Amino acid sequence: MTSLKAGLLSARSYLTILIGFLIGFAIVLWVEHQMPKRVETTEGIILSKNFPPLPQSRDLTFDEAVWARVAWQYFINNTQLNGLVNAQDGKPWFSLWSTGSYLLATISARQLNIISTQEFDQRVAAAIVTLSALPVQPGELPASAYHADTLEPIATAVAPAVDIARLLVPLQVLQWRYPQHAFAVSELLARWQLAALLQTGAPQGANLPVNRWLLRDDDPRGSYGYRLYAAMMLRMINTRTGLAVSQPPDGIKMVEIDGIAVPDEGLRTPWGKQPSLISLPYLLSGLELGFDARSGEIAWRIMQIQQQRTGEASRRPAISTDYAEQAPDFVSALPGEQPLPRNEQLDNPPPEPLTTHPLSSTRSAFSWYALFRNRWSEEQRQHMLPMLAPGRGWKAGFNPDNSINDRIDADTNAVVLESLTYISHGQLLCLACLWSPAEAAPETNQRVSAE
């Protein structure tokens, strides 16, 4: 006995180390357990059995009609004389992405009868003329952002492919549904060397027929979802691009959250408590181009994860699928922006990555509300009522600490309009949605207001 005791005593330092190892190992196991499971899959994503029935188009409610007009007010307030619209309330810059939002908002406003045919035609014509007049960068492609009043490029970078894809959506809709603008759209597209859009990546391999589409690492819209959304438009540029954009990057990485596998977009926090999900590109696909099996299924899975985590029964934290998009750095170079004093510029840490600003956004709430109508999406939309800013449009959403993110921008307000159009008319780009019951002649004693 004594020898064991003495032995233990003399081995105490080794024992301590062993126990330390065990504790450390336990922690690692625990963390591993907390991490969502990640799998790489090459299988396609197919519709699950519980995919909900598609909602029927229905009339708007009175409230919805007012909400749509509130959203449209943003574009009234921010239209420049040249026919384009600020990306952010009162800030005179725009990107091709935000211009896509504007044109889609205009199409929606026409569909919802907020603006007359005449105003629609004038706005669209002015926007296309101004887009055609944009100075292009070397390579005959537009820049990523412009001063909205002077049309000077703000940065020399060429517009990201995803932004151009977004602008192509409304241009495509115009060609199908509003043929009076089709010629102008073709002329505009002829100005830009879209064929060169994806050839700036890796060098052309001798035996590879096409490049793989590589997105820049720092592209804030570089995720799988955006890729999927953009590919639907970009593939129409030409065969080479079509092949490039439709190749999946390297198999799809999936991450399993609450037993549901969704595309892995990385982790937002080192502890893995907050896996990254991005919903916007899937939602935009649904509202504008219509779901395909892949985007529809992914959107549905993301919604299920969110839905499971919002109920009172769930003790797991809600997962945000929205990350605040900051205005580009160069926006501080805009006239009217207060430049920072030099010392402050140096002391300031580099801007936090976008990934640290999750929020629950107005645009997602409205999109869920339009695409999957159930009690959860209804609550989401209800929750966003405080975002209505009379006379200005809709604010972005709630910050994670539940304070209001009072940024007002073209994207949010466009998505509100698109969602309401989806409710009453279905997706925006559609060949068989054009039929509508014969319009009853308006009663003679009803006037249409135009203030």
Partner 1 sequence: MKQAIHFPSLTVYRRLCVLARLLRLPVLTRLPLLHVLVRLSKLPVLALLLLPGLAGAVSLPAADYPVRHGDLTPREMAMAKNAWQYFVANTQPKTGLVNAVNKYPSTTMWDSASYLAALTAARELKIIDKAEFDRRLLQFMGTLNKLVLFRNEMPNKAYNTITAQKVDYMNKPGEIGFSAIDIGRMLMWLKIIKERYPEYGNSIDNVVLGWDFTHVVDDCGTLYGAYVDPNKQTHYVQEGRLGYEEYAAAGFQQWGFSTCQGSRPEPYALADIYCVLVPYDSRDPRLTNQHNYVVTESYLLHGLEMGWDKGDDREDSPRNYSHPWMKDFADRVYQAQENRYMITGTLTARSEHQLDKAPYFVYDTVFSDGFNWNTITDKGKYVPETAAISLKAAMGMWALWDSPYTDRLLDTIENADEEGKGYYEGLYENGDGPIKEFTANNNGIMLEALLFKKEGKLLKFNTDNPRKPEFAPSLWERRLVDLFEPNNDRRNRPFLEVTPPVKTWCDQTGTAVRSAPSCKACKCASCKNEDAPVKLPPVATSCLKQ
What three-state secondary structure class fits 357?
Answer: coil
Q: At its nearest, how many Å lie between partner 1 and the CB of residue 110?
A: 9
Q: Is 53 exposed, middle or buried (0-12, 13-18, 19+ CB in 10 A)?
A: exposed
Amino acid at 361: S
Q: At its nearest, how many Å lie between partner 1 and the CB of residue 27?
A: 51
Q: Which residues bind partner 1 (CB under 8 A)?
A: 59-63, 65-66, 69-70, 73, 111-113, 388-392, 424-425, 436, 439-440, 442-443, 445-449, 451
Q: What is the Cα–Cα distance from 94 to 96, expressed in whole angstroms?
A: 7
In the bound state with partner 1, the residue whose beta carbon lies nearer, of 63 and 218, is 63
Q: What is the Cα–Cα distance from 164 to 3, expressed in whole angstroms?
A: 79
Q: At its nearest, how many Å lie between partner 1 and the CB of residue 408?
A: 12
In the bound state with partner 1, the residue whose beta carbon lies nearer, of 67 and 291, is 67
In the bound state with partner 1, the residue whose beta carbon lies nearer, of 143 and 423, is 423
Q: At its nearest, how many Å lie between partner 1 and the CB of residue 28?
A: 53
In the bound state with partner 1, the residue whose beta carbon lies nearer, of 294 and 425, is 425
Residue with tokens 């943003």: 74
Q: Which helix (H) or strand (E) holds 323?
A: strand 322-323
Q: What is the Cα–Cα distance from 213 to 161, expressed in whole angstroms?
A: 10
In the bound state with partner 1, the residue whose beta carbon lies nearer, of 61 and 186, is 61
Q: What is the Cα–Cα distance from 146 to 168, expressed in whole angstroms?
A: 18
Q: At its nearest, how many Å lie between partner 1 and the CB of residue 210?
A: 43
Q: At its nearest, how many Å lie between partner 1 and the CB of residue 152?
A: 31
Q: Which helix (H) or strand (E) holds 17?
A: helix 12-34
Angle (nearest 5°) at CA 18 between 15 and 22: 135
In the bound state with partner 1, the residue whose beta carbon lies nearer, of 67 and 224, is 67
Q: What is the Cα–Cα distance from 333 to 30, expressed in whole angstroms?
A: 48
